[in-house]
Structure 1
Amino acid sequence: MSLVIIGTGNWGSTLAGLLNPEQALRMWCERKEFIKPTIESLKQAAGTDRPGIVVEEMFTSPLTAGDIVLVVVPSAQVGPVARKIHEKVKPPYPIIVSASKGLERATFRTCSQVIASILPTATIAVMSGPNIAKEIAAGRPAKAVLGCDNVHVLLKVAKAMRSDRFHLDMTRDTVDVELCAAMKGVFAIGAGVIDARKWGCNFMGLMLTFGLREIAEVGKFLGISSAHVFGIAGLGDLVATCLSPDSRNYRLGQLLAGGTPLKEALSQVGMVVEGAMTASAVSEMAALRLRVPLFSAISAIVEDPCEAAFRRLEQVLMEYPSNG
Structure 2
Amino acid sequence: MWRVERSKVAILGGGSWGTTTASVISRQCDASLWARDSQIVAEINEQHTNQRYLGDATLNPKLSATTDIRHAVKDAGAVLIAVPSSHFREVLHSALANLPAGIPVISLSKGLEKGSRMRMTEIIQELAPGRIPGVLTGPNLAREIVAGQAAASVLALEDYSAALALQPLLNVGLFRVYTNEDVIGCELGGVLKNIIAIAVGMGDGLGAGDNTRAALITRGLAEMSRLGEALGGKPGTFAGLAGMGDMIATCTSPQSRNRHVGMELAKGRSIEDIIDSMHMVAEGVKSAPTVIELAREYGIELPISEDVYRVITGESNARGVYRGLLRVIAGAESEPG
Question: TM-score, normalised to structure 1's length?
Answer: 0.92
In structure 2, what is the Cα distance between the partners aligned to 1:287 and 1:64? 41
Task: Select 2:186's aligned residue among 174, 177, 182.
Answer: 177
**CA displacement at 1:37 relative to structure 2:** 4.5
In structure 1, what is the Cα distance between the partners aligned to 2:86 and 2:307? 23
In structure 1, what is the Cα distance between the partners aligned to 2:44 and 2:327? 46
- Cα 1:102–1:62 shift into 2, 3 Å: closer
* Over 3 Å off, 4+ runs: 31-34, 37-47, 62-66
Gaps of 5+ in 1: none
Comparing 170-179 with 90-99, greater Cα deviation is found at 90-99
Which amino acid in the other structure matches residue 48 of structure 1?
A: T
Comparing 52-61 with 98-107, greater Cα deviation is found at 52-61
In structure 2, what is the Cα distance between the partners aligned to 1:257 and 1:164? 39
Which amino acid in the other structure matches residue 31 of structure 2?
A: L
In structure 1, what is the Cα distance between the partners aligned to 2:42 and 2:175? 27
Q: Could you tell me whether the CA contact under 8 Å between 1:14 and 1:42 is conserved in 2?
A: no
Which amino acid in the other structure matches residue 27 of structure 1?
A: L
Are residue 59 (structure 1) and residue 65 (structure 2) matched? no
In structure 2, what is the Cα distance between the partners aligned to 1:16 and 1:5? 6
Which amino acid in the other structure matches residue 150 of structure 1?
A: D
Task: Select 1:115's aligned residue among 111, 119, 124.
Answer: 124
Gaps of 5+ in 2: 1-5
Aligned residue number for residue 9 of structure 1: 15
In structure 1, what is the Cα distance between the partners aligned to 2:79 and 2:100? 14
1:184-203 correspondence runs (5 A): 184-203=193-212
**CA displacement at 1:305 relative to structure 2:** 7.4
1:13-162 correspondence runs (5 A): 13-39=19-45, 42=49, 45=54, 47-59=57-69, 61=71, 63-64=73-74, 66-86=76-96, 88-89=97-98, 92=101, 94-162=103-171
In structure 2, what is the Cα distance between the partners aligned to 1:62 and 1:5? 8
Q: Could you tell me whether the CA contact under 8 Å between 2:70 and 2:98 is conserved in 1?
A: no
**CA displacement at 1:151 relative to structure 2:** 3.1
Q: Could you tell me whether the CA contact under 8 Å between 2:185 and 2:229 is conserved in 1?
A: no
In structure 1, what is the Cα distance between the partners aligned to 2:217 and 2:165? 35
**CA displacement at 1:129 relative to structure 2:** 0.3
- Cα 1:60–1:202 shift into 2, 3 Å: same
TM-align CA RMSD: 2.1
Aligned residue number for residue 206 of structure 1: 215
Are residue 225 (structure 1) and residue 253 (structure 2) matched? no
Residue 153 of structure 2: SS of its match in structure 1? strand
**CA displacement at 1:8 relative to structure 2:** 0.5
Comparing 39-48 with 276-285, greater Cα deviation is found at 39-48
Residue 101 of structure 2: SS of its match in structure 1? coil
- Cα 1:36–1:213 shift into 2, 3 Å: same
Structure 1 residues 254-307: Cα deviation after superposition (integer angstroms, max 9, x where no partner): 111112221221133321110111111112222432111111100111111754
**CA displacement at 1:21 relative to structure 2:** 1.2
1:210-289 correspondence runs (5 A): 210-284=219-293, 285-289=295-299
- Cα 1:142–1:117 shift into 2, 3 Å: same
Which amino acid in the other structure matches residue 180 of structure 1?
A: G
Aligned residue number for residue 3 of structure 2: none
Question: TM-score, normalised to structure 2's length?
Answer: 0.88
Q: How many residues align?
A: 322
